[in-house]
């Protein structure tokens, strides 16, 4: 159990994307990013808070992620490009981009891949582009599979389930669909499960699913992430560390 908990902790994108985030609340988030067991993979915040994250965590082996075109995916190509450039200028080395998933569902199969290609061109090889598909909006898993393949082919470094801002966030069904798309593509692309994952037991289900599809060694921070804040305390509890009042979960 502790082995799985330590692994899950190393895969965590410690996240706060709340309307009432402040410099102080983000400092508090960052204070939890380095634990006695391992560091989390990244902190994920709104772009204006990247400077706080760097002040608190630079040199500590934690990646700096911020969201673009978030959460609606509706802000358009030029805005998404501008936001991606801004995140990089502010010191982010990971961009979590919401693509126009509603347009894909409505039948426009070009806008999402076009946005991914354009933003990946901005990111280059040094900045990871994590593409949010909003899997909970898909009633048809075939459509989600097709979007996953299109995102991978357009250059996504990760495909990610959810914003955490809709009624349905990550599900095992969606995760399986997306992981199979990665497997079938034969390309290097990671997977991020985000939204609603708050317990060690839930995390293990996702890790085991990925291991069954992609192989046990594939599940590492280079390939697999959890987008969560509420998960942290449960993992620390499993590892035997007493925690303060439960971390406010906004993801």
pLDDT in tens, 88-141: 999 999 999 999 999 999 999 999 999 999 999 999 999 999 999 999 999 999
Vertex 249 angle, CA 246 and 251, to 5°: 155
Give the pLDDT score at 155: 98
Q: Which backbone phi and psi does 249 adopt, to 5 degrees? A: -95, 120
Q: What is the pTM of this model?
A: 0.95
Catalytic residue flag (residue 109): no
Catalytic residue among 32, 120, 130, 192: 192
Contacts of 10 (CB under 8 A, 6+ apart): 38, 39, 40, 41, 220, 221
pLDDT of residue 251: 59
Q: Which CATH architecture has domain 2-238?
A: Alpha-Beta Barrel (3.20)
Planar angle of CA 176, 111, 195, nearest 5 degrees? 35
Q: How is residue 14 annotated by DSSP? A: E
Spans of the chain, pLDDT less than 70: 243-251
**Set 13, 32, 96, 120: catalytic member:** 96
Q: Is 60 among the catalytic positions?
A: no
Confidence at residue 244, expressed as pLDDT on a 0 to 100 scale: 57
Instruction: Tell me if residue 20 is catalytic.
Output: no
First-last CA distance in the chain: 24
């Amino acid at each position: 159990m502790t082995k799985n908990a330590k692994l899950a902790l190393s895969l965590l994108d410690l996240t706060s994307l709340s309307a009432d985030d402040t410099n102080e609340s983000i400092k508090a988030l960052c204070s939890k990013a380095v634990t006695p067991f391992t560091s989390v993979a990244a902190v994920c915040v709104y772009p204006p808070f990247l400077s706080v994250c760097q002040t608190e965590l630079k040199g500590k082996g934690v990646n700096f992620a911020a969201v673009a075109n978030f959460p609606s995916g509706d802000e358009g190509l030029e805005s998404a490009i501008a936001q991606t450039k801004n995140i990089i200028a502010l010191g982010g080395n990971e961009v979590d981009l919401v693509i126009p998933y509603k347009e894909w569902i409505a039948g426009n199969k070009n806008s999402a891949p076009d946005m991914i290609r354009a933003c990946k061109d901005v990111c280059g090889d040094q900045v990871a582009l994590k593409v949010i598909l909003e899997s909970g909006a898909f009633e048809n898993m075939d459509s989600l599979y097709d979007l996953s393949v299109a995102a991978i082919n357009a250059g996504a470094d990760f495909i990610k389930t959810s914003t955490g801002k809709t009624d349905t966030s990550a599900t095992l069904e969606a995760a399986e669909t997306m992981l199979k798309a990665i497997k079938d593509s034969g390309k290097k692309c990671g997977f991020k499960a985000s939204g609603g994952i708050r317990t060690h037991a839930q995390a293990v289900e996702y890790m085991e699913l990925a291991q069954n599809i992609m192989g046990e060694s594939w599940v590492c921070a280079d390939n697999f992430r959890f987008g969560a804040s509420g998960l942290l305390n449960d993992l620390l509890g499993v590892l035997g560390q007493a925690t303060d009042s439960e971390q406010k979960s906004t993801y």
